Amino acid sequence: MIAIASESGDAEAVPRHVAVIMDGNGRWARSRALPRHAGHKAGIKPVRMMVESCAQSGVEVLTLFAFSSENWRRPPEEVNALMRLFIEALRREVAELYRNGIRLRFIGQLDGLGPELNRAISEAVSKTRDNARMELVLAVAYGGRWDLAGAARKLAREVEAGELRVDQIDEARFEAALETAPLPPVDLLIRSGGEQRISNFLLWDLAYSELYFSDALWPDFTQTQLNAAFEFYAKRQRRFGRTAEQIEVQTFSHGVP
Ligand code: IPE
Ligand code: IPE
Ligand code: MG
């Protein structure tokens, strides 16, 4: 009995939604006596690999953590270099993403990013809006707690306006008020760079994700590391609170080996 990776109990080797904490750029640069921003620049190549490879494998949604709400605490030079890199990379890559059938979405507190980056974001989103091969979600100035607080605020406003009763607030309503509402739950979380923590990424959406930690620093994250993450995922039995026996019976009755 292997690879039970969906709630229905069907054997599914490919995760529907993959989320990635791309960590280790600074240490990669430091080990080469380079400035930190050189590490961020070197982190673009594995982003390309992830997008192409995930789309090819049939992943529906790929969410990448590019900048957290806490990353504003970094030295201003590093923050500025990152913002420049986002603008340049977005402008450079959007045509290729469009050709490859990738739809772009952004989550996070975008209003703090400045007009130039916001313009690049709007252009990229509208250019790719009809693509359907895979959705690429970029989390920029995103924090899981920020998202949860925003959802609470939105529901409270609806209650205040008399559009919603307090006893109507359940998990489905709450989820619908999150920035990540249109996305399926995360099946596989990958974090590079050796740390085993969530760092305020998708708190609600990670409730039942499989967690894969790689020691590779993000600029060194290649197809080999991604394959290892997929293999790890394919071996998990996802029980969602049930027993292994229940899942096995369900799988058997579906006729899947
Ligand atoms: C992740 O790499 C990229 C961002 C947070 C923007 P880091 O810059 O955190 O790299 P380390 O953890 O210092 O090596
Ligand atoms: C998480 O990495 C954020 C991103 C990858 C964008 P950090 O390097 O900021 O995480 P901590 O602070 O070490 O937990
Ligand atoms: Mg880090």
118 pocket-lining for ligand 2 (C-beta < 6 Å): no
What is each CA distance from 153 to 109, 140, 148, 150, 182, in whole angstroms? 15, 21, 9, 5, 18
Q: Which pair of tokens denotes residue 30?
A: 């430091």
What residue spans of the chain are helical by DSSP H? 25-31, 36-42, 44-57, 76-99, 115-127, 144-160, 171-176, 223-234, 244-253
SS3 call for 17: strand
* pLDDT per position as a tens digit, 221-255: 999 999 999 999 999 999 999 999 999 987 776 65
Give me the residues of the chain with pLDDT under 50, please. 1-11, 257
Beta strands 134-142 and 102-107 are parallel
Catalytic option among 10, 71, 100, 200: 71
Phi, psi of 140 (to 5 degrees): -125, 130
DSSP line for 55-81: HHHT-SEEEEEEEEGGGGGS-HHHHHH
Cα 140 to middle of ligand 2, angstroms: 12
Domains along the chain?
22-236 (3.40.1180.10)
Q: Which string of b and e fits 179-194 if b means at least 16 CB within 10 Å?
A: bbeebebbbbbbbbbe
> How buried is residue 255: exposed, middle or buried, by Cβ count under 10 Å (0-12/13-18/19+)?
exposed
SS3 call for 105: strand
- 60 vs 209: CA distance, rounded Å: 15
* pLDDT per position as a tens digit, 188-232: 999 999 999 999 999 999 999 999 999 999 999 999 999 999 999
Phi, psi of 22 (to 5 degrees): -85, 90
Confidence at residue 9, expressed as pLDDT on a 0 to 100 scale: 41
Ligand nearest to the CA of 24: 1
Mutation test residue for ligand 2: of 23, 107, 189, the one with most atoms within 8 Å of CB:
23
- 89 vs 109: CA distance, rounded Å: 19
User: Is the C-alpha dihedral spanning 211, 212, 213, 218 positive or negative?
Assistant: negative
Q: Which pair of tokens denotes residue 150?
A: 């925003």
